[in-house]
Structures are given as C-alpha cells and as structure tokens.
Chains A and B, each alone.
Chain A
Amino acid sequence: MLDSIDMSLVDWSRGQFALTAMFHWIFVPLTLGLSFIVAFMHTIYVRTGDEEWKRITKFWMKLFGINFAIGVATGIILEFEFGTNWSNYSWFVGDIFGAPLAIEGILAFFLESTFIAVMFFGWNKVSKRFHLTASWLTAFGASLSAVWILVANAWMQHPVGTVFNPDMARNEMINFWDVIFSEVAVNKFLHTIGSSFLLASIFVIGVSAYFLLRKKEVLFAKRSTVIASVFGVMAAIGTIATGDTSARIVAREQPMKFAAMEALYEGQTHAPLVAIGAMRTDTTRFPHPREEFIFKIEIPNALSYMVFLTPSGFIPGISDLVYGNEEHNYMSYEERIERGAVAIQTLKELKKAKERGDQVSYEALREKFSDPIWIDQYYQHFGFGYYKGRELRELIPNVKVNFYSFHVMVILGGHFLIFTMLVLWLSLKNRWGNHKWLLWVAMITLPMPWIASQAGWVLAEMGRQPWVVYELMPNITAVTRLKPAAVQITFWIFLLTFTLLFIAEIRIMLSQIKKGPEGE
C-alpha cells in the first residue's frame, strides 16, 4: 500500500519532534503556573502597598523572565516543525489544525508578548494599576496560548467535527465548536493547565525551602510558601480529578493506549489495576514482543471500576484489539487493514476516474465518501490500510514505556497532593519551616513534577502510536520525504543547542536564586 518508506526517517523525525517538544515542555509549565502566582503576589503588593510583597513579586518575576525566554526559543521550532518534518500531515489536517494556530497567534501570542514587556519594564514607567493589569494579562495570555495547541493535539487524538474530502485528499472542518469543545480537548486543557500550576507551586515551595534551610529571607520564604501551597492544593485536586476523567476517555476512545498503559494483554471483566509492577520482554509469545510482569501489586476490580463504575465492565486487552473479540464486538486488525485498504483503493480509483474525465464513475465513487454507512464500514479504518503487507506489531504501541510513564505520573501525583496539603496546613499554623527534614522533602520534591509532566506527555504521544491522526493517518505517511541524514543533522544541532541553552538557563536560575531577593 505504501511506496518504500525508510523507517529510520520516521524514527529520526519522531525523535526530533520528541526532542524539541520535551525541551519546550521543560519551560512552558513553569511559565504557565508562575505567571499566575506572580500576578497574585503583585496584586497583594498593589493592595497593601507593603514593600516586602514588592520584593517577593520582583524576585519571582525575574525567575519567570529567565524561564520565559528559553520557552520562547524552544517553542518557535515546534510551530514550523509540523511543516518541515510532517508536511504530508500538515496538508491532511491543515484545514482544522491551522485555524487554532492562527487564532492563537492573533489572540494569545500578542497579548502575552506585549504585556510581558510592560510587566518587566513598567515599574517606574506606567501607573500601578496598568502595571498590575499587565501582569494579569501576561498570565492569561500564556494560558490562552496553550488552549489552541492543546485543541489541535486533542483533535489528533480524537478527530471530530470534520469530513474527509477525497478531491483534495484532506480532512475539512465542518463544525468549529465540535473541534474546540470536544470532551478530549476540554479535559486535556484542564489537566495540562492544572498540572502546570501544580508544578509551579512545588517550584516556589522548593526554592523557598532553600531559603528557610539557610535561615535567610525567612519572611519572604514563608509568604511565598503560603501563596504557593494554596495554589498547589487546588491544582493538585484539579489535576487528579481531570486525570481520572482522562483515563476514562482514553479507555473509551483509545482502548489500545489504555491496554498498553496497564500492560493488559488479555481482556477481562473485574479487571484489576496494577498499582506497581516491573516487567521483562518475552519474544516467544503472541503478540510479540510481549511484556511479562516480574512482579506486580494489584488492586482487584479497580480498573473495571475506574472505567465503568462497576467491576463487571469488560476491559479489552491488546490481544482482543489485535485479533478481534466477537463477543465484545472488537474487529480484528487484519479485518480493519482490509477495510482501510478498500478505502485507500477507492480514493485512488476516484483520482483516476477524474483524470480520465469519466464523470459517471467519479460521481459514484465520490458518493461513497459522503455515505455515512460506507464511511463507518471503510473510511473509519483508512489509516489501517497502509499496513497491508506490514507486520501487525507495528500497530501496537510500546507497552513498557507507556506502562512506566503512566505509573510514574500517577504515583507522583498522589505524592504531590499529600505534600501540598501538608505544606498548606503547616503554613497556616505558622509551623512550616520548623522541621528541617520537611524542608529537605520540599527540596527533593522540587524536580519531581517535571518528571510527572514529561511522563504524562510521553504516555499521551507514545500511547497513540503509530497514529498521528488517530486511526486515519499513521506516522509512516505523515512524515516529510527527506533523506534521513538531513533529519539526523538537524536533530544533533538541536540537541546540542538546546543542551547548551538548558545548562545556561539552569546556571542563571541557580545564581539568581542564590542571590535571593536582596536589592529587589
């Protein structure tokens, strides 16, 4: 079905996208969360006129600025990379994906970049009120910037509000509101924003703990901690709630991802949830390679209950999805490949009929693409058609990576909730800082939300492989046909550049933190 495709091109292109996206995502969540924390501190300063609050605001604002710059630097690549490395995908989805991107540019990016300048340079130049407004608009601009890219991602995970136009060979939007308010999009936005607020809160608590441990700037550190822990508790609750909804949506819309993240091969009712586990690869069993648990601790019935709110719900395993399960109505991948191939062949014939000028055949074929029954029976499996003659295992995501990412994220999420609640409680009693070991816990916890956040994205993106657009477009057709060497070169250039900038950012951050709010 597919002209020869060099898999190393696909791998390097994916690698480059993952590299640039993950670097970008080191900085973005801190920007999203810290902007609101700073705006809140700024508000307290303007309301009370207390100079200490001004120092606090300025200190965190400075860290925000350093982090923001590198977030911008790593972000521009992503916008253009859709075109440079995934050009076929860009065309296939451009009619849907482009609109959010343009809206993002017009509405959000300018808001953010205009008012961030006022926020930094406005202390003595504009009125207090306008200055404070600028801080809030920067924060809203930052979150608004995240809306549209997440809408686009949600659409790729769960395409809605569109139809396929065979003449143009692309998807076309028919309902804008379905695209932006799809359940996946809304939940993804809330989960991402919530987890970013949580990350920033833990950052502020951790940095403040450093000052408390050194018994320097105690008032500054305690006030910062109170604000951050209030934010943190709310964000932790929100993140866990939306995470739970997210799992349910995945179970329904992307059963393969769900099975992979629990390493569930054989479907069952009363499915248990693996709380923790470790696995090794077995290449002798089907579908191979197959991951076997070396050990695991399970919570009985929990998985079925999580999805269906009843233990008798059936959760399909990887085998049910690949080989089919008639009892529970899952079509086998072989069948889906056949049907997808029919859809692709129909598209080709339509193109040929058009070229020949054979209007009758063309009309008949065109009709199929607007017939809901035909769409349901054939077009729905379009992406599978490209796997005719290829190995079935290409359609199974990496189980190990998904399992570990999911569990690391969930376990850390639980830790963050307990941690932020404890900090808030002690802060309100003015006892935060009395126990040295707790301050150390805060310092050790500081980098953890980055691990959880990256793990979340790894799960979201690795779990849906090989699909770029879920079940419609696989990565092998989405990729730009370049020489793998070209992508390798840019991969290494970006790795080197971003690593250097990352080291610079960390060093500058550390030196600013050491300097503290003195002289602010």
Chain B
Amino acid sequence: MFGKLSLLVLQQYWYIIVSLLGSILVFLFFVQGGQTFLFRIGKSESERTILVNALGRKWEFTFTTLVTFGGAFFASFPLFYATSFGGAYWVWMLILFAFVIQAVSYEFRTKASNFLGKRVYENFLFINGLLGTFLVGVAVATFFSGSQFSLNEMNNVSWANGAHGLEAALNPFNLSLGLAVFFLARVLGLLYFMKTIDNDNIIARSKKELIRSALPFVASFLLFAVWLMLRKGFAVNPDTGEVFMEPFKYFHNLMAMPWVLVMFIMGVLAILGGIASGLLSDSGNGIWFAGPGTILVVFSLFMLAGLNDTAFYPSSYDLQSSLTIQNASSTHYTLVAMSWVSLFIPFVLTYVIFAWRALNKKKIDEKEMQEEHHVY
C-alpha cells in the first residue's frame, strides 16, 4: 500500500502527521496554561489540590505527545532534528528543563518528606506553564522568520551566533507567537477547569480570569497573523530546489491552498466561540470549541510553513541551507516502514479517548479529594 506511494507523497504524509501531533500538543497545553493559575485561582489549600488533581490526570498526555512529536520529527525529518536541536541549543534546553521539573511535581508535591516543600513543586508547575508554552511558540515562529544556521557538505550544522537560539526570543515577530501560545494555553486551561471541576469559587474566578487572558491572546495572535500575511517568505523553486525570498509568500500559500484557509478561519472562529461560550454560558462546553479550534489553527500554520514549495525550517543566514520537506526527510524505505506503524494511530487515539472518558465521568470536587486513594 505505502510502498507504491512516491517519496514526495510520503514526505507530505509525514509532514501532516507531525503537524497533527504539534497541533494536538498545543491543545494539550491547557495543562500548562492551567498550571499558571494555581495561585491566582486556588486561594486555599483545598482549592489548589482540586486544581492540581484536575490537571494531574492529564499531564502525561501532554508530556507523551511532546515526546512523540520529537520522535516523529526525528524519524521523518532527521535533518530538522539535527539542525534545530543542535543549533538552537539554548531554546531547546530551556524547554526540556521546563518539562523535567514538571514531571516530578505532581507526584512529589504532597508526599511526606518531599525535601523541597510543596511550594517549590507548585512553582515548578508555574515555570513549566510559563516557559514551556512561550518558548515552543517562539520556536515554531522561526519556521516563518528563519534561523541563523548553515550546513556543510556533510550536512552538519553551524550556528552563526553564540546565543544558539536565544536570539529568536528577542525577535518581535517570534515574540508575538510566543505570547499568543502562552495566553492561548491559559485560555484553554481556564475552559478545562470550567468543564471538569465542580466548585463554585473556582468556576467564578476562572470566568473572571478568562477575559484577562483572552484579550492578550487575541491581540498577540492578531499581530502575528497580520504580520505573517504581510511578510516575505522562504519560497523554493520546485525545479532547481533553490530557495529565495518571496513577498507575501504565506498569504500566497493561503490563497493557493483554500482548504487551509477554510481550516484556519474555522479554527479561529471556534476559538473565539469557545471563549465567548466560557464568558457567557455556564455549560462549561467552551473547551469543546476552543480545543478543536486550536488544533485547526496550529495545523494550518504548519501547512503554510511547509507545503506549496516553502522551506519549513529556513535559514536567514544562508538561504540555501534552508530545510524543506524534500531535503530534510528520511528515505522512501524508512518512511514506508513508519507509515505502516502510523496505521495504529487511530487505534491509539481510540483507547486514549476511552480511558480519558472512563476517568472523567464525574466532575472533580472536594469530596472526591478527601475520599480518593491516589491524590496528588
């Protein structure tokens, strides 16, 4: 089945899978967004415990999706993995560090003799929510703004400056996406609280916070989106493989791929609808709009970055070192082998959803926190 597909089709197939994982990851950042509210919304110990436990049953999904996203990117586009991780060293190291301290915090926070104290683990969760989301946004923005690297004849990377990726966080364009992802994660976190927690104080405070996160999200995202449409992009000549700057490239991509335009608009509307639902109704269903909306928007951004003869990981330092899905991918053989495994993805999604529902049948409340055997 897969063996008969051309290399280009397989490259596109895997770019779509990786993009899908990236989009789901941003949706699952509701865990990180929620973590930034432990102190603002959880005014008492018991409220904080409810918040931590509501998030604690889901943090593994986000974490695993991040790991799988990295693995799938390595597998399908190893040159991206080698170039970006080795080059933008500091950005990735900081992101990793933010996730290292998250992984222990849920389990260790309330345990006796936990050495660092409850508050430190709560702060770890806050740092993870702040740094993890912001820096991933900045890193993804470099897909459009470019990075400072070059590759030699062995395809080995050299970075043109000593900041090794940190310079990306000073670029206002990258910053706008970083902030947008951070505030979007917070919006999603609040909507998740409204859906899963049964506690009047928490719901009321979440509602109040929602508008405070939604406005900066809309502002930073609007800035990013308009800027993206207006800026020059990294285009590839399909005949020669030569990379060149094209004015309004990403706008052209949007027009050339109407299905992406539709997804993008639907996604934006769904996120706004989710926010409106959270503000105006008590149903708690806002997450059902904003969540899928996030996936659609992020997915369409990935499509704009990599399809339609575009370099998805461009170098602003040495244009011809830019990575495209064609020059950065694994071989036909490896992509075919992996594609067979990808058939398991629907099966994996099914059991994830099944297990998720089995544990979320009932809303989390204070009573459960007192009775439950395993509480974070």
Contacts and interface: CB of A to CB of B under 8 A. Distances in A.
Contacts of B46: none
Contacts of B112: 508, 511-512, 515
A125 interface: yes
Nearest to A481: B158
Nearest to A115: B355
A94 B71 contact: no
A91 B328 CA distance: 9
Contacts of A490: 93
Contact of B330 (A98, A106, A107, A486): A98
A66 to B, nearest CB: 6
A352 B359 CA distance: 61
Contact of B100 (A77, A168, A512): A77
A497 B100 contact: yes
Interface residues of B, number: 72
A152 B89 CA distance: 23
Contact of B164 (A66, A102, A126, A486): A486
Interface stretch (A79-87, A251-259, A438-446): A79-87
B75 interface: yes
B64 A113 contact: yes
Interface residues of A, number: 84
A293 interface: no
Given A107-B341, A113-B60, A121-B374, A102 B89 contact: no
A88 to B, nearest CB: 5
B71 A483 contact: no
A441 B178 CA distance: 56
A242 to B, nearest CB: 27
Contacts of A101: 71, 74-75
A504 interface: yes
Q: Mostly helix, strand, loop or mixed at chain A's interface?
A: helix
B40 interface: no
Interface in B330-376: 330-331, 333-334, 337-338, 341-342, 344-345, 348, 351-352, 355, 358-359, 361, 372-374
A294 interface: no
Contacts of A480: 86, 89, 157
A226 B359 CA distance: 33
A467 to B, nearest CB: 17
Given A94-B82, A481-B156, A73 B373 contact: no
Given A80-B85, A113-B64, A169-B153, A504 B115 contact: yes
Given A87-B85, A169-B153, A508 B108 contact: yes
A73 B100 CA distance: 4
A91 B78 contact: yes
Nearest to B333: A173
B114 interface: yes
A98 B75 contact: yes
A74 B100 contact: yes
Given A109-B64, A511-B111, A76 B92 contact: no
Given A87-B156, A90-B86, A123-B373, A117 B351 contact: no
A482 interface: yes
B82 A102 contact: no
Nearest to B62: A113
Contact of A486 (B76, B89, B116, B373): B89
A390 to B, nearest CB: 19
B242 interface: no
Contacts of B374: 62, 65, 120-121, 123
Interface string A163-187: 0010011101110100000000000
The 5 closest A-B pairs by CB, nearest first: A94-B78, A87-B86, A83-B85, A98-B75, A105-B68
20 contacts: A65-B374, A66-B108, A79-B67, A83-B81, A87-B82, A87-B156, A94-B79, A95-B334, A101-B75, A106-B341, A117-B60, A126-B358, A126-B359, A173-B337, A351-B153, A480-B86, A482-B164, A503-B115, A504-B115, A508-B115
Interface of A: 58, 62, 65-66, 68-70, 72-74, 76-77, 79-80, 82-88, 90-91, 94-99, 101-107, 109-111, 113-118, 120-126, 130, 134, 165, 168-170, 172-174, 176, 348, 351, 480-483, 486, 490, 493, 497, 500-501, 503-505, 507-508, 510-512, 515, 520
Given A87-B156, A94-B75, A173-B337, 12 more contacts: A70-B107, A76-B63, A77-B100, A90-B74, A99-B334, A101-B71, A109-B67, A110-B348, A114-B351, A116-B60, A123-B374, A348-B153
Interface of B: 57, 60-61, 63-64, 66-68, 70-72, 74-76, 78-79, 81-87, 89-90, 92-93, 96-97, 99-104, 106-108, 111-116, 153-158, 162, 164, 330-331, 333-334, 337-338, 341-342, 344-345, 348, 351-352, 355, 358-359, 361, 372-374
